[in-house]
Structure 1
Amino acid sequence: MSRIPVDPYTDIVEEHFAVIYAPRRHRDRFPENCVQVMESEQAAREAEDPEKNFFAARVVGPSRSSEGLRLYYLEAWLGK
């Protein structure tokens, strides 16, 4: 379950497949400059490059933080 709810009546915060730049994979939220939203799960898996710290994931966002950043919240790592 996501830390932020997805509103079914708007498209502001949605679930996405993405590739995340994550040197350490212990975080559960990422600024938008580390997240590349992909068209599909397959596209995210194909773009994954663990040697360069790019990992496929399912995320929810973007959501504004209290500091004004746009964040994506990790739902699950997809992995190869």
Structure 2
Amino acid sequence: MPHVIIDPESRSLSERFALIRSPGRRSARFPEGCVTLVDTEAEAIQGRDPARKLVPAVVYGPSPSSEGQRLYYLVRWL
């Protein structure tokens, strides 16, 4: 997993708890449509669902990509 550079002064980007719909754990960035933000770490962990490929994580974003998508970057899996 690549190192994510976090800007502590950013007003639009932040670390958040999330559930990521992902077929694997190799990617370090995810389009907004694959990420469901939740309020707490406990909520993310409780939302884990291997059958639906939902994995709890801490993400950073959203950040616009050069392709016009909004992306979240993986900080760590929970």
Q: Does residue 54 of structure 2 align to residue 22 of structure 1?
A: no
Distance between the aligned counterparts of 2:41 and 2:9, measured in 1?
Answer: 21
| Normalised TM-score (structure 2) | 0.90
Structure 1 residue ranges without an equivalent (≥5): none
Aligned to 1:36: 36
Q: Which amino acid aligns with 1:42?
A: A
| Normalised TM-score (structure 1) | 0.88
**Count of aligned pairs between the two proteins:** 76
**Deviation of 1:18 (Å):** 0.1
**Deviation of 1:9 (Å):** 4.9
Aligned to 2:4: 2
**Deviation of 1:50 (Å):** 1.4
Q: Does residue 61 of structure 2 align to residue 70 of structure 1?
A: no
Q: Which amino acid aligns with 2:9?
A: P
Q: Which amino acid aligns with 1:65?
A: S
**Deviation of 1:7 (Å):** 3.8
Moved over 6 A (4+): none
Distance between the aligned counterparts of 1:9 and 1:75, measured in 2?
Answer: 16
Structure 2 residue ranges without an equivalent (≥5): none
CA RMSD of aligned residues (A): 1.2
Q: Which amino acid aligns with 2:63?
A: S
